[in-house]
A and B are shown apart, each in its own frame.
Chain A
């Protein structure tokens, strides 16, 4: 789905059919699709099993906000809804990589470049 006119394209699709990204678990399911080639039912089941929820819950912001909070997966934030004590951005991706048991390339690069791990041998 292209972005183009964000209101006409993205918002309309998101309201009609979207998993909600970080508002729920859309980013987590997307990650399993785009890096592991999992089809939707498999990706939803995989993520749900790792988080201890049902596939239905993955699109529910009320459920997933609490789950994301619990696992440190990053949340929607603003000045009005701040939670600086929780993991966000690259920190959250460390937690997502660990819990979903899937390597995240920028997390791996982060580890190498901060001396947490050694760089892999060249391909």
Chain B
């Protein structure tokens, strides 16, 4: 009779599985990734490593000394417990953050437009009293440019009515507005002294949002070569809300991480954050195996740092508001050991 080991499901709850069941989950996670993303499977030794990692009853695990990575610390300046400036100082001084991020509470690009001077002043002042590099972060969130939240026709409303051409035109109009807002934001943040701009959860509104972010990145990096751009994704697969948009001749709809990496690099971004979403009905072992398999092809071809997204509900971290540390540590170790990620 095999011993049952406490491990986690994708929703964060404890599940007691045998080592054989964990192995079956890991192998199925790999197989599902191969089937969906058309990527090679993990090697046998990598699968064994994941099984050992998730079959360990240890409360926490860690990478080998010397294998440490950079943590991107998105959202560290978001008024969690004090002012945003004090929050970033706390992250830097108490929590060993490798970089800091000032961001608005709403976190949406469109919202920043009307409060840009205040945001830039806060960033300017915070830069005087911190040491770690500081980026300004937003999510492009193109949906806010559509009615009723914004000025453009709502492509999500037009599509079910079969008004495809109008939906596409509306999305294109919104994307152009987002590019203008993003570049304006970067102009002001450059003057304030930001080290980088972070576009987080890119592509949440599908290929028009991904296109807008790539185009904005291209413009920003050309204007300000000393200011970085981190481009993190919203999902593992780019939704085709438009379907025909291309960046440098490559169709964006349907892109998986390796193809995303290629266009992100072409746009000039300095960091890329792939996402693999968590299936809450499967174990963390299954989810991490699937995530490793989908992202692994990126690692050999990347010319820029790859910071795997390993937050709530992505990258093998449970979709739970207070992620269990044992599950978080296992995802971190898996991505460092198997993928050799540049950061998380």
Which residues of A pack against B, CB within 8 Å? 1-24, 26-27, 29-31, 33-40, 43, 55-56, 58-60, 73-74, 76-78, 88-90, 92-93, 96, 103-110, 123
4 additional A-B residue pairs with CB within 8 Å, beyond A14-B71, A26-B96: A17-B63, A21-B92, A27-B133, A37-B304
Asked whether, in the complex, the Cβ of A40 is within 8 Å of the Cβ of B73, the reply is no
Nearest B-chain residue to A73, judged by Cβ: B131
Q: How far is the CB of B229 from chain A (nearest CB, A)?
A: 9
Give the chain B neighbours of A92 by CB distance below 8 A. 131
Q: How far is the CA of A88 from the CA of B329 in the complex (A)?
A: 32
Would you call B71 and A18 a contact (CB within 8 A)?
yes
Chain B residue at minimum C-beta to C-beta distance from A36: B270
Minimum Cβ distance to chain A for residue B18 (Å): 25
Q: Which residues of B contact A (CB under 8 A)?
A: 60-63, 65-76, 78, 80, 91-93, 95-99, 124, 127-135, 190-196, 200, 223-224, 226-228, 230, 269-271, 302-307, 309-312, 317, 321-325, 328-329, 332-333, 336, 340-344
Beta-carbon contact of B74 and A14 below 8 Å: no
> In the complex, which of the residues A9, A26, A96, A104 contacts B328, with contact meaning CB atoms closer than 8 Å?
A9
Q: Which residues of A contact B200 (CB under 8 A)?
A: 2
* Contact across chains for B80 and A34 when beta carbons are under 8 A apart: no
B325 touches A11 (CB 8 A): yes
Give every chain A residue within 8 A of B321 (Cβ-Cβ).
4-5
| Cα distance A26–B134 in the bound complex, in angstroms | 13
B69: which of A12, A17, A35 is its contact (CB, 8 Å)? Answer: A17
Q: Which residues of B contact A5 (CB under 8 A)?
A: 312, 321-323
B230 contacts across to A, CB distance below 8 A: 34
Q: Is the CB of A56 within 8 A of B323?
A: no
For the complex formed, measure the closest distance between the CB of A62 and the CB atoms of chain B, giving whole angstroms: 12
A16-B61, A18-B68, A21-B97 are contacts. A1–B307 as well, Cβ < 8 Å? yes
B128-A89 in contact (CB<8A): yes
Closest 5 CB pairs of A and B: A106-B193, A26-B98, A16-B329, A2-B311, A12-B328
Query: With a CB–CB cut-off of 8 A, which chain A residues contact B196?
Result: 34-35
B329 touches A1 (CB 8 A): no
A37–B225 Cα distance when bound, in Å, is 11
Chain A residues, CB < 8 A from B67: 17
Instruction: Check A40 against B70 for contact (C-beta < 8 Å).
Output: yes
With contact pairs A2-B312, A40-B343 given, residues A13 and B70 touching in the complex (Cβ less than 8 Å)? no
Q: Which residue of chain A is the closest to B335 with respect to CB atoms?
A: A17
Give A20 to B271 CA distance when docked, in angstroms: 19
CB < 8 Å neighbour of A21 from B98, B304, B328: B98
Q: A17-B68, A40-B70 are known contacts. Are A30 and B133 too (CB-CB below 8 A)?
A: yes
B70 and A19 contact, CB distance less than 8 A: yes
CB contacts (< 8 Å) of B93 on chain A: these are 22, 76-78
